[in-house]
Copies of this chain bind each other. A is one copy, B any other.
Amino acid sequence: MGVTVRIGELAQRASVSVRALRYYEEQGLLLSSRSPSGQRHYAEPAVDRVQLIQHLYSAGLTSKTIADLLPCVDAKVSTPESRARLAAERDRIDAQIAELTQARDKLNDMIALTGTPASGCAYV
């Protein structure tokens, strides 16, 4: 019935390490059904789940924050607190984007400042 895969294949499909998947489970972010011998088995949606987790990590959320918020997303239910939390994280990301944009502009300034070959500057 359910097409299930073992941890190695899920790791491949989601482009993460096996270790990472076990770590996610340890942090309560990813569930698995276990075979009688104890091996983890995952169904299809697990790939999306893992990618969502990765996105949130790369957005700077911590395991704990994700663990707090994912159940609420799963249930498609929110409390005033969870909404505030989500909004707060979004705002933090917006701020970080602004900061990064500023940093990038700085870098561009540095590039311009150090001259380009076209401008005939520098290291001749």
Contacts and interface: CB of A to CB of B under 8 A. Distances in A.
A86 B111 contact: yes
The complex is assembled from copies of this chain, and their number is 2
Q: How large is the interface on A (under 10, 10 to 19, 20 to 34, 35 or more residues)?
A: 35 or more
Contacts of A55: 99, 102-103, 106
Interface in A89-110: 89-90, 93-94, 96-97, 99-104, 106-108, 110
A114 B86 contact: yes
A59 to B, nearest CB: 3
Contacts of A106: 52, 55-56, 59
Interface of A: 52, 55-56, 58-60, 69, 72-73, 76-80, 82-83, 86-87, 89-90, 93-94, 96-97, 99-104, 106-108, 110-111, 113-117, 121-123
